[in-house]
Amino acid sequence: MSNPPLVLGIETSCDETGIALARGPELLADVTASSMDEHARFGGIVPEVASRAHLEAFEPTLRECVKRAGVELADVDAIAVTAGPGLIGSLTVGAAAAKALALALDVPLYGVNHIIGHIAVDAFVHGPFPEEFLGLVVSGGHSSLMLVRDIARDITQLGATLDDAAGEAFDKVGRLLGLPYPGGPHIDRLSQGGDREAFAFPRGLTGGREAAKYPYDFSFSGLKTAVARVVEGFEDEEGDIPAADIAASFSEAVVEVLVDKTLRAARDHGVDTVVIGGGVSANTRLRELASQRLEPQGLTVRIPPIQYCTDNGAMIAALGAHLVAAGVEPSGLDLAVTSSMALEEITRPGANAP
Ligand code: KG4
Ligand code: ZN
């Protein structure tokens, strides 16, 4: 039997230049360069800085990836690149590089959905996906609950964030507590020494009529405002801010909502497996509570190791490998990138597609 196809995955939607090589279901190499250090002092990602950093990092990251995989660039059979959602300038650098490579190597090009990549990457770690499962992606820009019938062809969005994404809430609360950007990992660490019940923060869209109207949607902006009020209260009284307790109580509020809505969606749709991905899935308490609450209900919980939760090239190579295996039509060299992309849109056709 011949070798499964060699797929190159390219991710440049935000501040990480991620490049990976996969041989079918096996990840050969995954290399990431990050420009986060250049953004941290601004308290957020500066798009122009991120674009330029991708331009500088692309070639050395690609070379390193090819070297670690022990293959030749000429052996690549297909290329997958993030087409959206993300920062247009950053996406454009990755897509332009991917097009040049696809043209030079004469191989098909797939422009793929970054959010679906966060789910797809778990197949490298935990094996093939079941026939139908639930996906929860929680990242800096998105909180999305989806029903996956076929990761290459058939995904339905069940719920999304109505305002702030989960990671955005972590980052904003991090700022309120004076923590470096991005706040998520810092709040995670600080929470370990805090009391989860110290503050009764609101659980958005979980009660009464709102829960009935938005069973699978998320809202974290009220929670962020509640945290801001508590912090201001301590500042007004010139007291010490109990940062660890606030961080732990805030994290608990976010994580409980994520896990409870996931459980409800899994029950309603009769699935027995949940795959969780995206930067916030690195969160210690989310990983803990998901297994504590979902597994006793008979659900299998799959969350990739932390290195595959935040943005990386492996997630795009994983989705690319699934698309190639399923025989999905490539995007073509007239691929256009986009800042927003529906979950149902797993790949993007070329701009001139019929
Ligand atoms: O998926 P990702 O790397 O990039 C996007 O596609 O947005 O997610 C980044 C987000 C940031 O908001 C960051 O604060 C959050 O993931 N994050 C965490 C943790 N690690 C990263 N949030 C909570 N706990 C963590 N351990
Ligand atoms: Zn992401």
40: confidence class by pLDDT, cuts 50, 70, 90: confident
Backbone angles phi, psi at 161, to 5 degrees: -80, 135
229: confidence class by pLDDT, cuts 50, 70, 90: very high
Decide if pLDDT at 67 tops 60.
yes
Task: For residue 222, give the amino acid letter.
Answer: G
State the chain's mean pLDDT as an integer. 96
Ligand at minimal distance from the CA of 310 is 1
Number of helices followed by number of strands (H, E) in the chain: 12, 11
Within 10 A of 246 (CB to CB), how many other CB atoms are there?
A: 25
Measured by CA distance, the residue closest to atom 8 of ligand 1 is 279
Q: What pLDDT is attached to residue 2?
A: 72
Segment 333-354, tens digit of pLDDT: 999 999 999 999 999 988 888 7
Segment 141-173, tens digit of pLDDT: 999 999 999 999 999 999 999 999 999 999 999
Interval between CA 164 and ligand 1 midpoint (Å): 13
Atom of ligand 1 nearest to the CA of 251: 23
Ligand at minimal distance from the CA of 247 is 1
Q: What pLDDT is attached to residue 149?
A: 98
Q: What pLDDT is attached to residue 4?
A: 95
Q: Which of 187, 310, 316, 341 to mutate to test the pocket of ligand 1 (most atoms within 8 A of CB)?
A: 310
Atom of ligand 1 nearest to the CA of 86: 6
Measured by CA distance, the residue closest to atom 21 of ligand 1 is 279
Decide if pLDDT at 329 tops 60.
yes
User: 143-165 burial, b for 16+ CB within 10 Å, e for fewer?
Assistant: bbbbbbeebbeebeebbbbebbb
239: confidence class by pLDDT, cuts 50, 70, 90: confident
Decide if pLDDT at 267 tops 60.
yes
Q: What pLDDT is attached to residue 3?
A: 87
Segment 1-27, tens digit of pLDDT: 578 999 999 999 999 999 999 999 999
Tell me the H-state helices in the chain.
36-40, 47-69, 88-105, 114-120, 122-126, 166-176, 183-191, 208-213, 221-236, 243-269, 284-294, 314-326
Ligand at minimal distance from the CA of 117 is 2
Chain Cα centroid distance, residue 309 = 6
Ligand at minimal distance from the CA of 283 is 1
Q: How far apart are CA 79 and CA 108, in angstroms?
A: 6
Mean pLDDT, to the nearest integer, of 284-300? 98
Q: What pLDDT is attached to residue 79?
A: 98
Q: How far apart are CA 67 and CA 72, in angstroms?
A: 8
Interval between CA 185 and ligand 1 midpoint (Å): 7
Decide if pLDDT at 87 tops 60.
yes
Q: What pLDDT is attached to residue 351?
A: 84
Q: What pLDDT is attached to residue 331?
A: 97
Atom of ligand 1 nearest to the CA of 141: 7
Atom of ligand 1 nearest to the CA of 174: 14
**Ligand 1 pocket, Cβ-based, cut-off 6 angstroms:** 14, 139-141, 167, 170-171, 182-185, 188, 278-280, 282-283, 310-311
Q: Which of 170, 250, 341 to mutate to test the pocket of ligand 1 (most atoms within 8 A of CB)?
A: 170
181: confidence class by pLDDT, cuts 50, 70, 90: very high
Q: How far apart are CA 262 and CA 256, in angstroms?
A: 10
Decide if pLDDT at 313 tops 60.
yes
Q: What pLDDT is attached to residue 323?
A: 98
Residue with tokens 């970054």: 114
Measured by CA distance, the residue closest to atom 20 of ligand 1 is 185
182: confidence class by pLDDT, cuts 50, 70, 90: very high
Interval between CA 282 and ligand 1 midpoint (Å): 7
